Amino acid sequence: MKRIAVLTSGGDAPGMNAAIRAVTRVAIYHGLDVVGIRRGYEGLLDGDAIPLTQSSVGGIIHHGGTILRTARSERFKRSEGVTEGLARLKGMDVDALIVIGGEGSFRGAWELEKRGLPTVGVPGTIDNDCAGTDETIGYDTAVNTALEAVKKLRDTASSHDRLFIIEVMGRNSGFIALQVALAGGAECALLPEVPFDVEKVCQKLNYAKKRGKTHSLIIVAEGVMSAQELAGKILDTGGYESRITVLGHIQRGGSPTAFDAVLGSRLGAHAVEALLEGKSGVMAGVTCGQVTTCPLPETWENKKRPDLSLLELLNALSI
Ligand code: F6P
């Protein structure tokens, strides 16, 4: 192996730049050349690539987004797209590829691996919905960003005796919603993984009002329904006037937390080490504090679910 490529794909996540930096510097340390593919698989199909050097990845560890930019590629989902991508990589004399992204990106990586190109994944998504790692790069930052907003909303909710319904990201997963609800002292967290009962939500609001609570907060993952739709279903708020807030893409931006900068660095480095040890078709992850690898298909086949005991804890703490 002489030359490797790295790309970021899917939604950007804070800490991706730390991972790009680690891939580049550890690979160069081991005598490899590094090529950065821009705009994910879309850029690969267009041959949009740049050489990466120790200095070109300098000063990026604390930057949000991804210096390689990213995309969701429809073209690469087709078999001809994968064939074209493979040809592009061969044309650049690339011997192996590191893909930083989430489940959809790893499915693409697996197609390249099956066609003979050694490929390793690095989990980068704010959703934390990849099996094979306790946390994904960007999740911790997104939770902290959302939490800052929730704390501000709580101030205004308390001042006005209001209920705030706050919609957070998570199309298919409730990790962000649950963590933010617990850390933000919310009354309820609604997750795509758990069916919810609107009556129970109303009861909780009534109880909170009777106890004299000056505010109530509901955190809803976008995958359950929109905050607007939920507001239309909560017909009895216990007397609280309600407002909705959609946090949206603000959760994806910003400088990574220390946790994500370290996680990105560790997993980027571990992906290169895995390739050097002859491993491929795997994702680098962290389990119980230790760097690990697991087969790429397991990252989407073994559905990772939030710890539901935390939902029980939220219910106990918010009565
Ligand atoms: O996968 C990360 C994520 O932020 C999801 O939580 C969200 O549903 C989706 O990306 C939004 O995607 P887009 O930026 O394409 O609108």
Q: Are residues 132 and 269 in the same domain?
A: yes
Question: In the structure encoding, which two tokens stand for residue 115, read together?
Answer: 């066609």
CATH of the domain at 86: 3.40.50.450
Residue 11 Cβ < 6 Å to ligand 1: yes
Average pLDDT value for the chain = 97
Whether 318 is in a domain gets the answer no
Whether 114 is in a domain gets the answer yes
Report, in angstroms and rounded to the nearest whole number, the Rg of the chain calculated over CA atoms: 21
Q: Is 127 a catalytic residue?
A: yes
CB 178 within 8 A of CB 314: yes
Which residue matches tokens 């504090």? 289
End-to-end CA distance of the chain: 59
Residue 129 Cβ < 6 Å to ligand 1: no
| Averaged pLDDT, 76-90 | 98
Residue 126 Cβ < 6 Å to ligand 1: yes
The pLDDT score that the predictor gives to residue 27 is 98
Residue 232 has pLDDT above 90, yes or no: yes
Whether 313 is in a domain gets the answer no
Choose one of 192, 225, 252: the last residue of a domain. Answer: 252
Q: How far is the CA of 221 from the centre of ligand 1 (A)?
A: 12
Q: Are residues 79 and 127 in the same domain?
A: yes
The number of beta carbons lying within 10 Å of the beta carbon of residue 149 is 17
| Averaged pLDDT, 5-25 | 98
- DSSP state, residue 6: E
Residue 91 has pLDDT above 90, yes or no: yes
Q: Kindly state the percentage of the chain with pLDDT values over 70.
A: 100
Residue whose CA lies nearest to ligand 1 atom number 12: 11
Q: Are residues 94 and 175 in the same domain?
A: no
Q: Are residues 81 and 173 in the same domain?
A: no
The pLDDT score that the predictor gives to residue 319 is 80
Best CA proximity match to 225, nearest among 255, 251, 198: 198
Residue 87 has pLDDT above 90, yes or no: yes
Beta strands in the chain (DSSP E): 3-8, 33-37, 49-52, 96-101, 119-123, 162-168, 188-190, 216-221, 241-246, 282-287, 290-295
Q: Are residues 152 and 108 in the same domain?
A: no
Q: What is the tens place of the pLDDT at every residue in 106-125? A: 999 999 999 999 999 999 99
Q: Are residues 122 and 31 in the same domain?
A: yes
The number of beta carbons lying within 10 Å of the beta carbon of residue 316 is 8
Q: Are residues 115 and 67 in the same domain?
A: yes
Q: What is the tens place of the pLDDT at every residue in 158-173? A: 999 999 999 999 999 9
Give the relative orientation of helices 103-114 and 79-91 as an angle to the nearest 10 degrees: 70
Q: How many domains does the chain have?
A: 2
Q: Are residues 86 and 205 in the same domain?
A: no
Domain assignment of residue 101, given as a range: 3-138+256-301
Q: What is the tens place of the pLDDT at every residue in 92-103? A: 999 999 999 999
pTM for the full model? 0.97
